[in-house]
Amino acid sequence: MRKILIPTDFSSNSLNAIKYAAELFKHNPAEIYLLHAFADEVYEAKSRLADAFFDDLKDKALAKAKESLTNFQNKLEDISPNPKHKITTIAEFGLLVDAVNDWVEKENMDVVVMGTKGETSDKKITFGSNTLQVIKYVKCPVLAIPESFVDVHPNNILLSTDFLLPYKRRELKLVSNIARCFASKVNFLYISKFSNLSLRQQDNKKFLEASFADNQVDFNLQKDTDVTKSINTFIVENDIDMLVMINTRHSYLENILYQSTIEKIGLNINIPFLVLQNLPR
């Protein structure tokens, strides 16, 4: 039974992410948790009112959140009725990242699915602040869905790797299962100025081959030092419709997330982006 956590702010982007998740995992039994954390909106309203009204604000926000979650659940069940899926709604007074992290730990979630941007989306940026925070700090795979992306049948998946990272079998199984359900091709992309692999890299490559033994795979070498340019070019030239990267210490992705921004780095992500969290959990 796969467990899927979907944080929602009730925006159109969020609803699109919910639809995408329901379709992507339609073949498997799943528990889908719709989560709304509403502390920010309470504190924003409190700044305009006296402290005596704080409990009333919380109660009203909770009632509104529960009603909106029920509406979203009804929409999902109308759009994608699936007897294999059990839907649970959670309205919680807390900050989004904290609430997501708590539920990931509590229910041992397999994946967090959310829109790339929320209600106050800026068309000039790729990811909203909430999505980036979840990717950075929640130790669970995170699948971010662009609002404009509606094709839920991935034909070509790209997993960019330097073969230096150890892989988590559970997270690779998630990717393998998605690919198997949709008969997707999994493209592994190794970008380096060297064509030869070290013994460690060879072992990690063999582990990937074993993990994706039931999938159609293709291993690609790009002799280059510009990782960003190579990924962007590969996505366009190979009609990639899902990008998978691994977040771990001292990785390319960590460099993007912590030392700069995705916009400044220039990684063009207008397709679903699955981040595998190879961090202690």
The amino acid at residue 273 is F
Kindly list the distances between the CA atom of residue 106 and the CA atoms of 109, 136, 182, in Å, as whole numbers in the listed order.
8, 19, 30
Q: In sequence order, what are the beta bridge partners of 34?
A: 6, 89
The total of other beta-carbon atoms located within 10 Å of residue 21's CB is 25
The two three-digit tokens of residue 91, written as one number: 């309205």
Element (H, E) at 85: strand 85-92
> 137-141, 250-254, 261-265: which has the minimum mean pLDDT?
261-265
Residue 185: Cβ-neighbour burial (10 angstroms; 0-12, 13-18, 19+): middle
Summarize pLDDT for 222-262 with one digit per residue, the tens: 998 888 889 999 999 999 999 998 886 556 665 655 554 44
Q: Identify the three-state secondary structure at position 65.
A: helix
Distance CA 109, CA 3 (A): 5
Question: What is the per-residue pLDDT for 260?
Answer: 47
Supply φ then ψ for residue 275, to 5 degrees: -105, 115
- Cβ atoms of 17 and 71 within 8 Å: the answer is no
Compute the Cα dihedral for 117, 109, 254, 222 and give only its sign. Answer: negative
Distance CA 211, CA 208 (A): 5
Question: What is the per-residue pLDDT for 34?
Answer: 97
Question: What is the per-residue pLDDT for 83?
Answer: 94
Supply φ then ψ for residue 30, to 5 degrees: -150, 145
Summarize pLDDT for 45-86 with one digit per residue, the tens: 555 555 557 778 888 889 999 999 999 999 999 988 999 999
Q: Which domains does the chain have, with CATH numbers?
A: 2-145 (3.40.50.620), 156-245+253-268 (3.40.50.620)
pTM of this structure: 0.88
Distance CA 237, CA 232 (A): 9
For range 190-211, the mean pLDDT:
93
Question: What is the per-residue pLDDT for 193?
Answer: 87
- SS3 helix, strand, coil % of the chain, rounded to 5? 45, 20, 35
The band of 159, judged by pLDDT with boundaries at 50, 70 and 90, is: very high
How many residues are listed for the chain in this entry?
281
> 105-109, 114-118, 177-181: which has the minimum mean pLDDT?
114-118
Summarize pLDDT for 172-195 with one digit per residue, the tens: 999 999 999 999 999 999 999 888
pLDDT, mean over the chain: 86
Of 14, 38, 169, the C-alpha closest to 91 is 38
